[in-house]
Every structure is written in structure tokens, then in C-alpha cells.
Amino acid sequence: DTEVTQTPKHLVMGMTNKKSLKCEQHMGHRAMYWYKQKAKKPPELMFVYSYEKLSINESVPSRFSPECPNSSLLNLHLHALQPEDSALYLCASSQGILTKNTGELFFGEGSRLTVL
């Protein structure tokens, strides 16, 4: 079991649809992340929120839009995706205490996205 909860576990969407992925953690972590993972590949960093502010955007296309409503929640809004965006989307969190030690990443189980 993981302490980072992601919904939905599976999502199929068309290229004109708008959908959202959700992530929640209750460990008091102040950093939250979105990663994209293709099969047999390492996770690729997409976004990092630190203290509820977007701190890193790894040049991700605007069809992916992150949102951090509060310190426990992280959303990824999806619009006009392409078939090549099909992947496992992983949410993670870490202590994120920048003056001390970020700690390790705790991963959710991921949302498997298929774009038709």
C-alpha cells in the first residue's frame, strides 16, 4: 500500500476530451510531483509544486495543466491530448523542506492513461 492516493487508476480518453487526474497525500509533505512513465523507462519529471507553488515545469506542453489546491492535493488537467501521451502518470510527494532535507519520494500507484 502507498500513502499517496491517485485516481482514477485507469483512464481512456479521446483527443478532444477534457479530464483530470487527482492525487492526495496526508503525510504533511510540502513538495508534490507529477511524473510520466512509459513502459520499461524511468519516470520523467513533469512538474514540481513546493509549498503549493509551481517551482519546476520541465517544458511540458500546455495540454497538461497542473493545479495544487492545497498542500494535500495535486491535480493534473488534461485537454486535447495526443496518442503519444498515453503513459502511466505518477504522483509523488516528499518532505520538501528546502532548508534541511527534501527526503525521499513517495509514489502513488499511478493513473494509466490511454489516449485514442
Establish if 54 lies at the interface with other proteins (CB under 8 A). Answer: no
Establish if 100 lies at the interface with other proteins (CB under 8 A). Answer: yes
Please compute, for residue 85, the number of CA atoms within 13 A of its CA located in the half-sphere on the CB side: 20
Establish if 111 lies at the interface with other proteins (CB under 8 A). Answer: no
The residue type of 84 is E
The span from the CA of 39 to the CA of 22, in Å, is: 21
For other proteins (CB under 8 A), the number of binding residues is 28
Which position among 46, 74, 87, 90 is part of the footprint of other proteins (CB under 8 A)?
Answer: 90
CB atoms within 10 A of CB 9: 10
Residue placing its CB nearer to other proteins in the complex, 16 or 70 = 70
Buried b (16+ CB within 10 A) or exposed e, 84-97: ebbbbbbbbbbbbe
Establish if 27 lies at the interface with other proteins (CB under 8 A). Answer: no
State the residues that interact with other proteins by CB under 8 A.
2, 31, 33, 40-43, 45, 48, 50, 55-56, 90, 94, 96, 98-110
